């Protein structure tokens, strides 16, 4: 086998590549999972509506404008060419009906839209000096803005912009629990009017359900997003590409930092100054880092801001010191300086990063959908590429690439797995090595992982104290009228800067810049014997494992790990198609993974070799 070597070519790739085009094309939607759970405990609710009676609502829109149309109340999801894949809102009472503005189905590529759904009655807030509205929402953004509007006379309306954290082509969780403090308008008012308004042009769709109005707390902040700024390549742009799995060898260079931040919103009635506490727990369940970051400026009601650390101060970062194989837990908790938060349920977020022997992954271990250039107009052309960028700090070899082939991929389509490097002279990604040309020959080869090796041995040479970036990529050939899609994880905290797309028809690379990461992983370092065990549609890999296994096709399944004595040593409930399980604290040996999914039971053998 021929060896192909890439030397560390640039330390400033983050500066150079941002000269590339960020992506702004409309895409075919895919369903979103991982929604918020509604918690009405400790809320003094005095009005609510679940859209079960459509006569309580009326619609207004620009009826002379063929590009605009009305909201609808029903149980069906969007039907536009690009919005239909979103599916209906997964709200608490969706079966009773919900409100929807299907901008994509109503509109065309250009043209203004301004559509409202209005509650016909008024709401008596005369005995409520501080008032908040909470509802379940599902929105995907292109060129539009959703609003909640409040009035005391039905003529003059105050706007509250919603889903302000979304960029073009990004979708909210399904559903998102939205809370708006409307005290300044509605407090102690006998007649309060309420409406939802969409303003934009040819967007995707917006769905709303299960509205409640309650007495607003004085002190309530919400942690809307967190930032795990790895290294941080893209700190000034937001996230730095979350890593769900990092090989131990790549952390052994020392003093590699992670900076933390978050977006915090004030939902309370009083002006407050938030803070953010971050703790890190190692595989031995010992807390090895804790730090509280204070926001510089106070937030008024409905105000929000990004708490950013000082990236020049290493003392504010978590630094990998003597890393161990296993799970590192990162716990984020927002608070208020000098006050107790009256509604702590929306203050925390938690993520895990696994230090592995060989596996490199940007995803969070969850399969939440499928995506590719086939989701876009002008895409799905032979030679299109999806790639995920990895930073290397240590000289190593790349053994193989694994990626999830979505079940929407056409039998007969083909692909080539590629390792690519950034060519400064050409200002583009260039091929370093590739796999064979592989054709999908049966339905058993879709909706599952593919692990492929390369024709040449791939060796990444990184001089001491430097780093280099590698693109793990899949070039695909769907053929005329065919499709090819890769699995994605929408639960990883990312802004999509690690994901690249190449449109062969345009000859152009783009940043994805969205809210998911493709399930494309690398195996690096000392080669390991990798075998994927299958039992029907369920599979577990790698096998043998050095501590962390992935179990695929296990959405809504119960998973048990059983030792040779027949004892259940670990048990989890999987909410996703792919679940990662950490076995690094168990002794070497043979274990059985039992998966119970409805009436189906699958048992697979796994060997643990550390």
Residues 555, 416, single domain; the answer is no
| Residue 311: closest CA among 390, 250, 231 | 231
Report the pLDDT value the prediction gives residue 142, as an integer from 0 to 100.
87
What pTM was estimated for this model as a whole? 0.77
What does the pLDDT look like over 216-253, one tens digit per residue?
999 999 999 888 888 766 555 555 578 999 999 999 88
pLDDT number for residue 229: 84
For residues 602-610, give the mean pLDDT. 83
Q: Of the candidates 499, 524, 549, which is a domain's last residue?
A: 524
1 domain-assigned: no
| Judgement on whether residues 56 and 203 belong to the same structural domain of the protein | yes
| Mean pLDDT within 345-371 | 89
Question: Is residue 19, in this structure, part of any structural domain at all?
Answer: no
Do 211 and 253 fall within a single domain?
no
126 shares its domain with 238: no
The kind and range of the H/E element at 13 are helix 13-17
What whole-number distance in Å separates Cα of residue 104 and Cα of residue 114?
A: 13
Q: Is the same domain home to 344 and 441?
A: no
CATH of the domain at 303: 2.60.40.10
Same domain, 394 and 352: no
> Based on the structure, what is the number of domains in the chain?
4
Question: Which whole number is the average pLDDT over 120-148?
Answer: 95
pLDDT at 187 over 70: yes
458 in a structural domain = yes
The answer to whether residues 299 and 331 belong to one domain is yes
CATH classification of the domain holding 569: 2.60.40.3080
Answer whether 150's CB lies under 8 Å from 184's CB: no
57-60/520-524 β-pairing: unpaired
CATH number for 52: 2.60.120.260
Residue 14 lies in a domain: no
Query: Is the same domain home to 317 and 182?
Result: no
Best CA proximity match to 520, nearest among 442, 358, 405, 355: 405
| Among the ranges given (36-45, 83-92, 185-194, 546-555), the one the predictor scored with the smallest mean pLDDT | 36-45
pLDDT of residue 363: 92
Rounded mean pLDDT, 253-260: 85
Distance between CA 425 and CA 257 in Å, rounded? Answer: 30
Where is pLDDT greater, at 423 or 186?
A: 186
Is 70 exceeded by the pLDDT of residue 320?
yes
Phi, psi of 315 (to 5 degrees): -70, -15
Q: Are residues 454 and 552 in the same domain?
A: no
CA distance readout (Å), 20 to 242, 428, 509, 522: 21, 9, 7, 24
Domain boundary among 473, 495, 524: 524
Residue 428 lies in a domain: yes
The label of the residue with tokens 């390991």 reads 528
Please spell the DSSP secondary structure of 398-437, one letter per residue: EEEEEEEEPTTSPTT-EEEEEEEEEETTTTEEEEEEE---
Other C-beta atoms lying within 10 Å of the C-beta of residue 37: 8
Looking at the fold, whether 265 and 329 belong to one and the same domain comes out as yes
- Residues 412, 494 contacting (CB under 8 angstroms): no
Residue 337, pLDDT above cutoff 60: yes
Q: Which of 361, 476, 328, 338 is nearest to 412 (CA)?
A: 476
Least confident of 177-186, 226-235, 387-396: 226-235
Please tell me whether residues 163 and 61 are part of one structural domain: yes
Q: Tokens 């995707």 identify what position?
A: 204
* Top-confidence range, 251-260, 270-279, 534-543, 547-556: 270-279
Hey, which of 49-63, 299-313, 579-593 has the most confident mean pLDDT?
49-63
Minimum mean pLDDT range among 360-364, 425-429, 506-510, 511-515: 511-515
- Mean pLDDT of all residues in 52-69: 94
* CATH number where 516 lies: 2.60.120
pLDDT at 513 over 80: no
Please report whether residue 499 resides in a domain.
Answer: yes
pLDDT band at 16 (very low <50, low <70, confident <90, very high): very low
pLDDT for res 26: 60
Q: Which of 502, 524, 546 is the last residue of a domain?
A: 524
What mean pLDDT do residues 173-189 have?
94
- Exposed / middle / buried, residue 93 (Cβ in 10 Å: 0-12, 13-18, 19+): middle
Phi, psi dihedrals of residue 575, rounded to the nearest 5°: -100, -5
* pLDDT score, position 28: 60
Q: How much is the mean pLDDT over the chain?
A: 87
Which pLDDT band, with edges at 50, 70 and 90, does 512 fall under?
A: confident
For residue 18, pLDDT beyond 50:
no
- The arithmetic mean of pLDDT across residues 131-136, rounded, is 96
Is residue 483 scored above 70 in pLDDT? Answer: yes
Of 50, 63, 57, the closest CA to residue 118 belongs to: 57
- The pLDDT, as a whole number, for residue 17 is 34
pLDDT of 412 above 50: yes
Least confident of 207-211, 484-488, 529-533: 529-533
Q: What is the pLDDT of residues 305-314, one digit of tens each?
A: 998 877 778 8
Same domain, 237 and 327: yes
User: What is the predicted pLDDT for the residue at 303?
Assistant: 92
Percent of the chain with pLDDT over 70: 90
- Domain containing 351: what range? 221-357
So what's the pLDDT on residue 20? 42
Going by C-alpha positions, the residue among 547, 528, 562, 558 that lies closest to residue 610 is 547
Per-residue pLDDT at 188: 97
550 vs 199, residue with greater confidence = 199
pLDDT at 21: 47
DSSP string, 19-31: TSEEP---B----
Q: Predicted confidence band at 10 (pLDDT cuts at 50, 70, 90)?
A: very low
Q: Which pLDDT band holds residue 30 (cuts at 50, 70, 90)? A: low
pLDDT confidence tier of residue 12, bands split at 50, 70 and 90: very low
- Assess whether pLDDT exceeds 80 at residue 495: no
Can you tell me the mean pLDDT for 377-405?
Answer: 93
In a domain, 542, yes or no: yes
> Is residue 36 in some structural domain?
no
């Amino acid at each position: 086998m021929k060896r192909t070597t890439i030397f560390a070519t640039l330390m400033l790739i983050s500066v150079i590549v941002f000269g590339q085009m960020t992506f702004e094309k409309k895409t075919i939607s895919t369903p979103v999972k991982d929604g918020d759970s509604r918690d009405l405990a400790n809320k003094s609710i005095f009005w609510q509506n679940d859209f079960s009676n459509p006569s309580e609502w009326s619609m207004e829109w620009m009826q002379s404008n063929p590009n605009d149309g009305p909201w609808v109340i029903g149980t069906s999801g969007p039907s536009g060419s690009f919005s239909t894949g979103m599916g209906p809102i997964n709200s608490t009472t969706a079966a009773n009906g919900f409100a929807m503005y299907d901008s994509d189905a109503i509109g065309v590529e250009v043209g203004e839209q301004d559509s409202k759904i209005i509650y016909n009655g008024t709401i008596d807030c005369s005995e409520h000096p501080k008032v908040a509205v909470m509802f379940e929402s599902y929105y995907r953004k292109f060129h539009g803005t959703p609003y909640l509007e409040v009035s005391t006379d039905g003529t003059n309306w105050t706007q509250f912009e919603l889903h302000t954290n979304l960029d073009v082509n990004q979708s909210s969780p399904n559903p998102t629990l939205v809370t708006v403090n409307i005290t300044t308008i509605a407090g102690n008012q006998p007649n309060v009017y309420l409406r939802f308004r969409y303003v934009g042009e040819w967007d995707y769709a917006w769905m709303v359900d299960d509205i409640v109005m309650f007495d607003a707390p004085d002190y309530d902040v919400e942690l809307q997003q967190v930032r795990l700024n790895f290294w941080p390549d893209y700190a000034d742009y937001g996230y730095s590409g979350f890593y769900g799995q990092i090989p131990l060898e790549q952390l052994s260079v020392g003093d590699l930092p992670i900076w933390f931040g978050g977006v915090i919103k004030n939902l309370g009635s009083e002006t407050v100054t938030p803070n953010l506490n971050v703790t890190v727990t190692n595989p031995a369940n010992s807390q090895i880092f804790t730090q509280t970051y204070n926001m510089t400026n106070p937030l008024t009601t409905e105000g929000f801001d990004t708490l950013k650390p000082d990236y020049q101060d290493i003392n504010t970062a978590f630094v990998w010191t003597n890393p161990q194989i296993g799970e590192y837990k990162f716990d984020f908790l927002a608070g208020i300086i000098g006050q107790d938060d009256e509604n702590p349920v929306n203050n925390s977020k938690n993520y895990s990063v696994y230090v592995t022997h060989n596996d490199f992954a940007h995803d969070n271990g969850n399969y939440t959908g499928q995506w590719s250039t086939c989701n876009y107009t002008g895409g799905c052309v032979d030679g299109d590429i999806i790639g995920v960028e990895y930073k290397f700090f240590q000289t190593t070899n790349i053994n193989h690439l694994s990626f999830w082939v979505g079940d929407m991929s056409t039998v007969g389509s083909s692909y080539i797995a590629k390792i690519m490097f950034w060519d400064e002279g050409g200002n583009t990604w260039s091929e370093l090595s590739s796999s064979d040309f592989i054709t999908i020959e049966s339905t058993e080869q879709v909706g599952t992982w593919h692990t492929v090796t390369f024709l040449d041995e791939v060796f990444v040479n990184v001089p001491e104290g430097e780093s280099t970036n590698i693109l793990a990529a899949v070039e695909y050939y769907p053929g005329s009228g065919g499709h090819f899609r890769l699995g994605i994880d929408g639960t990883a905290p990312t802004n999509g800067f690690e994901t690249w797309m190449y449109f062969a028809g345009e000859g152009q690379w783009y940043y994805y810049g969205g809210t998911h990461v493709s399930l494309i992983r690398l195996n690096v370092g000392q080669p390991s014997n990798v075998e994927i065990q299958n039992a029907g549609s369920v599979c577990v890999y790698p096998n043998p494992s050095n501590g962390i296994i992935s179990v695929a096709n296990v959405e809504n399944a119960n998973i048990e790990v059983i030792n040779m004595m027949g004892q259940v040593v670990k048990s989890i409930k999987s909410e996703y198609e792919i679940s990662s399980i950490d076995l690094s604290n168990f002794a070497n040996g043979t274990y059985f993974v039992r998966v119970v999914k409805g009436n189906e039971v699958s048992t697979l053998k796994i060997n643990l070799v550390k």
